Amino acid sequence: MSAGHEKFVIQDIKRFKEHIINMQASVDIEALNQQAQADSAIIEDIRTEANQIIVGQSHMMDRLLLGLLSDGHILLEGLPGLAKTLAIKTLSSIIDVSFNRIQFTPDLLPADILGTMIFNQKSNEFSIRKGPIFSNFILADEINRAPAKVQSALLEAMQERQVTIGKETFKLAEPFLVLATQNPIEQEGTYPLPEAQTDRFMLKINVGYPTKAEELEIIRRNIRGLISKKVNAVVSPEKILKARQTVRKIYMDEKVEQYILDIVFATRNPKNYNLQKLEGLISYGGSPRASINLALAARAYAFMQGRGYVIPDDVRNICKDVLRHRIGITYEAEAENITQEDIITGILNSVEVP
């Protein structure tokens, strides 16, 4: 973002905050602020406890919390050894919920995830054996290693929040969070997720390497054996569910709603937003799920800041994580080394901020 454009955005945000203050006559913003500040105190407790185990990766941890508060699932893309498994395992211990890791392989079957009917010879009848999906937090490790029918079984459970085994249907536990990982460098023997299935993930996070200072601390902690230290359960699942209810109450002005729509519609029809240069670079834009998840994530982000209302900057902060897996790029874009992030940046710099 250029300095001039950044100044323009800051001025617009100030004007928007003044507009929010004027809205207090119809919406009790102050009460929402107080409730958000009180309920979001758990965020700092979780961060403090997680920092005892995880070095760096603050963006990944914040997005895990964002997905958890928004009741949405997360797709992580990153190289091995970047604390993806450790992060969700640590988070499950802090919140005191159950955790299961499923290693996706080419020979995996849907029953290996969901469960199946087992014949008991002693009783001469079938009984149900539940699969690892019956847990609060699920790590679907290397989800693109398993065939489409296995991926579909997981994604159906994610969407419906229930599993049917035989003639019985079982509701999944709450809170329920699926973190699926993909390795960006190994494509042999993989089954890439179709676009319609990646769209079911609320966020897609690109996990990068730690800094030198962070990696030095990682080395020292591993040598001293501190990496296996247990964390305390400082937040109960009930507090997470209560925080979710507060997130849904966070005030979102019509101007912010329109801003979200403009961003998503710009991915579909760039020329309508004076973005003709993107016309040949986008093969398809964000679906209605993009608009829904952008609104939910913006509310959760505002809540994490202890605020009872959403400002345009909240939308901008989470926009790439919500949209990067929902925009298709053309061969022309690939030839010019233009990524989804580049396209989103162009849209954010062009769409008028309320």
Instruction: Write down the pLDDT at residue 68.
Output: 92
- Which residue's structure tokens are 């100030």? 14
Query: Do 39 and 303 form a contact (C-beta atoms < 8 A)?
Result: yes
Q: With helix as H, strand as E and coil as C, how does the chain read?
A: CCHHHHHHHHHHHHHHHHHHHHHHHCCCHHHHHHHHHHHCHHHHHHHHHHCCCCCCCHHHHHHHHHHHHHCCCEEEECCCCCCHHHHHHHHHHHHCCCEEEEECCCCCCHHHHHEEEEEECCCCEEEEEECCCCCCEEEEECHHHCCHHHHHHHHHHHHHCEEEECCEEEECCCCCEEEEEECCCCCCCCCCCCHHHHCCCCEEEECCCCCHHHHHHHHHHHHHCHHHCCCCCCCCHHHHHHHHHHHHHCECCHHHHHHHHHHHHHHHCHHHHCCHHHCCCEEECCCHHHHHHHHHHHHHHHHHCCCCECCHHHHHHHHHHHHCCCCEECHHHHHCCCCHHHHHHHHHHHCCCC
First to last CA, the chain: 17
Model pTM? 0.85
What is the pLDDT, as a whole number, of residue 33? 86
Can you give the pLDDT at residue 189? 59
Instruction: Name 199's Cβ contacts closer than 8 Å, sequence gap at least 6.
Output: 287, 289, 290, 325, 326
Domain 1-39+250-354, CATH homologous superfamily name and number: Magnesium chelatase subunit I, C-Terminal domain (1.10.8.80)
The structural domains of the chain, with segments of one domain joined by +, span: 1-39+250-354
Give the per-residue pLDDT at 8. 44
Predicted pLDDT at 18: 58
- Mean pLDDT per 10-residue section of the chain, whose length is 354 residues: 50 57 62 86 89 85 92 87 83 89 88 84 79 90 85 83 84 88 70 80 89 87 73 88 91 92 93 87 90 94 92 93 91 89 92 86
What pLDDT, on a 0 to 100 scale, did the predictor assign at position 27?
A: 64
